[in-house]
C-alpha cells in the first residue's frame, strides 16, 4: 500500500472536489482548467478539519488508493480465473481436451474483441459523463459478472459472462484518464508507472491465489473475484471524487467512440502517431511472453509447471518494481523521451537474450534487464497525454487500450505459429528462440520510430 501513498503524492485534486460525492460543487475549477500545467506551487493551501488533519491530502490519498486498487483488483481478478477457467470449460465439455482447447481459444479471442470495441466507448463516455460514474459502474458490472460466471449452469452462460467481462473490464482506460486529469504533466510518467506496478502485482498474485482457491472448488475464484470487485465499487462510491470539470466535458459521439474513430485521434500529431506505433509493436511483442514462454521453457529447459509459474511471477515482480520505483527517478534524469529510448533498448536486448539462452540459468539472468522495458509504457502514455486536452483524455486512453486489444488479436496466433515452425522435424528454421528474436526486432523498429517521432519534443522531467 506504500506505492499507493506515493501515487497519491502526485495527485492534485483540489479541496472542493474532495467533499462527499453527493455534495460536490459544480463551479469551474481553476486548477483543473489546464491540468497539464498545474504545479505544486499553484495548489491551494491545505485546509484542516476540526482535529487539525489535512483534508486535501487525506481525500487525495483516498482517491489515489481507489484508482490503484481498481487496476490491481481488475488484474488480480483476471489472473485468479486464468488457472480455473480451462477446468470449468472442460467440465461442460465432458473433459474433451481438444474441444476444451478450441473453446478456450474462442473465449480468449472474444474477450480481446470486447476490449477492442468497448475500450473507446467507455473512454468517450467518461469524457461526456465524467470519470467517476464510468469507473464505479464498470466495477459494479464486473463484480456482478464474476458472480454470474461463478453460478453459470451451462457453457452458454459462462460464454455470456466472458463477453460481459471483456466489456466491463474496459474501465482501466478511464482510470488512466482520471490520473491524467489530476496529475501535473511532469508527474504523469511516475503515476502511470505506479499503475504499471499495479498491473504487475495483479499478474503475480492472481494466478497464485486462483490456483489455491481452485483446489477447493473451480468456481470459488469467481465468487472471490466478484466479491472483491463489488467491495471496491462500494469503497469508490464513498471516497472517489469526480476529476473532470463540467466545462471540460465533450459530447458523446459514436464517430469518436468506435475503435476506428478513437484511433483517428492519434493522427493529429506526429508524436501521437509515433507513440501509438511504439505501443502497438511493444504490446504485440509482449504476446510472445504471454503465449510462448510456457511451451518454450518446457521444450528447451524441461521445466516443471511450478518452475514456469515461478519464473512468470519473477517477471511480474520485476515489472512492478520498475514501474513503482524506477520510472520517477529515470524520467527525472533523462526526461520522457530518453526514458522511452532506454527502455526499448533494454527490452530488445532482453528478448534477444531469451532467445539466445541455451540454459535456464541464462534465462533467469536476463529477466531483470528485460523488465527495464517497463520504463516505456508509462513514459509513452504520459507523453501522449500532453498532446490532447482534458476533454479527450478518456478517448485517448480508450484508443491506447484498443491498441492492446489489437495486439491480443494478432500476437497469440503469430507467435505460436512462429514457434511451431521453429521446432520439430518440419521446422523452417531449427531455432526455438525465434519468437523472441522477432519480438526483439519489433522493439528495434519501435526504437527507430520513437527516436523520429519525439525529435524536437520538449523534455518533460519528473519533479522530485
Cα–Cα distance, 73 to 443 (Å, whole number): 29
What pLDDT score does 34 carry?
32
Hunting for cell 504487475 — which residue is that?
Answer: 200
CATH number of 258-454: 1.20.1250.20
188-214 vs 55-81: helix crossing angle, rounded to 10? 40
DSSP type of residue 45: P
Q: Select from 232, 245, 194 the least CA-distant residue to 10.
A: 194
Spatial contact of 283 and 442, defined as CB atoms under 8 Å apart: no
Report helix, strand or coil for 48.
Answer: strand
Q: For the chain, 464 residues long, give each residue's pLDDT as a single digit of tens.
A: 444 445 555 555 544 444 444 444 443 333 233 333 333 333 333 433 333 333 344 455 667 777 877 777 777 777 787 777 877 888 888 887 667 767 877 787 788 788 778 877 887 788 888 888 888 888 888 889 889 988 999 999 988 888 888 787 766 778 778 877 777 777 777 778 877 777 777 767 777 788 788 888 888 988 998 898 898 889 888 888 887 778 778 777 776 666 666 666 677 666 688 888 999 999 999 888 877 887 888 889 988 767 877 787 788 888 888 888 888 899 889 988 899 999 999 999 999 999 999 999 999 999 999 999 989 988 888 888 887 777 777 778 777 877 887 887 888 788 888 888 888 777 777 898 999 999 999 999 999 999 988 876 545 454 44
CATH architecture of the domain with residue range 1-15+57-241 = Up-down Bundle (1.20)
pTM > 0.75? no
356-362's contacts with Cβ under 8 Å and 24+ in sequence apart are 356/433, 357/433, 359/301, 360/297, 360/301, 360/303, 360/307
Secondary structure (DSSP) of 383-397:
HHHTTS-GGGHHHHH
The structural domains of the chain, with segments of one domain joined by +, span 1-15+57-241, 258-454
Look up residue 95 and give its three cell numbers: 473433459
In sign, the C-alpha dihedral spanning 126, 120, 275, 439 is positive
Could you tell me the CA-to-CA distances from 300 to 297, 305, 352, 377, 421 in Å, in that order? 5, 14, 15, 30, 15
What pLDDT score does 171 carry?
67
Amino acid at each position: 500500500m506504500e506505492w499507493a501513498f506515493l501515487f497519491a503524492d502526485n495527485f492534485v485534486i483540489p479541496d472542493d472536489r474532495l467533499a462527499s460525492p453527493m455534495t460536490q460543487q459544480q463551479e469551474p475549477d481553476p486548477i483543473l482548467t489546464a491540468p497539464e500545467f498545474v504545479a505544486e506551487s499553484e495548489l491551494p493551501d491545505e485546509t484542516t478539519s476540526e482535529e487539525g488533519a489535512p483534508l486535501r491530502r487525506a481525500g487525495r490519498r483516498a482517491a489515489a488508493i481507489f484508482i490503484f486498487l481498481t487496476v490491481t483488483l481488475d488484474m488480480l481478478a483476471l489472473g485468479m480465473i486464468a488457472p480455473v477457467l480451462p477446468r470449468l470449460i472442460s467440465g461442460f465439455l465432458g473433459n474433451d481436451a481438444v474441444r476444451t482447447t478450441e473453446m478456450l481459444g474462442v473465449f480468449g479471442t472474444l474477450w480481446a474483441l470486447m476490449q477492442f470495441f468497448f475500450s473507446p466507448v467507455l473512454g468517450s463516455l467518461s469524457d461526456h459523463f465524467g470519470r467517476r460514474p464510468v469507473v464505479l459502474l464498470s466495477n459494479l458490472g464486473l463484480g456482478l459478472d464474476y458472480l454470474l460466471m461463478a453460478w453459470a449452469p451451462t457453457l452458454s452462460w459462462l460464454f455470456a459472462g466472458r463477453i460481459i467481462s471483456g466489456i466491463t473490464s474496459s474501465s482501466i482506460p478511464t482510470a488512466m484518464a482520471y490520473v491524467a486529469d489530476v496529475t501535473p504533466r511532469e508527474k504523469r510518467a511516475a503515476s502511470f508507472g505506479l499503475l504499471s506496478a499495479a498491473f504487475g502485482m495483479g499478474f503475480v498474485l492472481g494466478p497464485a491465489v486462483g490456483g489455491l482457491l481452485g483446489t477447493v472448488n473451480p468456481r470459488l475464484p469467481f465468487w472471490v473475484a466478484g466479491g472483491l470487485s463489488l467491495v471496491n465499487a462500494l469503497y469508490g462510491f464513498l471516497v472517489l471524487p469526480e476529476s473532470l470539470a463540467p466545462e471540460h466535458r465533450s459530447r458523446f459521439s459514436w464517430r469518436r467512440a468506435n475503435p476506428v474513430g478513437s484511433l483517428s485521434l492519434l493522427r493529429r500529431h506526429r508524436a501521437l502517431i509515433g507513440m501509438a506505433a511504439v505501443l502497438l509493436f511493444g504490446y504485440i511483442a509482449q504476446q510472445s511472453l504471454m503465449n510462448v514462454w510456457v511451451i518454450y521453457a518446457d521444450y528447451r529447459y524441461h521445466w516443471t509447471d511450478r518452475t514456469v509459474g515461478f519464473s512468470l511471477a519473477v517477471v511480474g515482480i520485476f515489472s512492478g518494481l520498475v514501474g513503482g520505483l524506477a520510472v520517477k527517478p529515470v524520467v527525472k534524469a533523462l526526461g520522457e523521451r530518453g526514458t522511452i529510448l532506454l527502455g526499448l533498448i533494454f527490452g530488445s536486448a532482453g528478448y534477444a537474450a531469451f532467445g539466445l539462452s541455451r540454459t535456464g540459468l541464462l534465462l533467469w539472468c536476463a529477466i531483470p534487464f528485460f523488465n527495464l522495458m517497463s520504463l516505456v509504457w508509462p513514459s509513452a502514455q504520459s507523453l501522449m497525454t500532453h498532446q490532447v486536452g482534458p476533454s479527450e483524455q478518456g478517448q485517448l486512453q480508450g484508443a491506447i487500450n484498443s491498441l492492446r486489444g489489437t495486439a491480443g488479436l494478432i500476437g497469440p496466433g503469430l507467435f505460436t505459429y512462429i514457434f511451431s515452425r521453429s521446432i520439430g522435424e518440419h521446422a523452417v528454421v531449427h531455432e526455438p528462440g525465434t519468437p523472441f528474436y522477432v519480438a526483439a526486432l519489433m522493439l528495434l523498429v519501435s526504437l527507430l520510430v520513437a527516436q523520429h517521432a519525439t525529435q524536437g519534443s520538449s523534455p518533460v522531467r519528473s519533479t522530485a
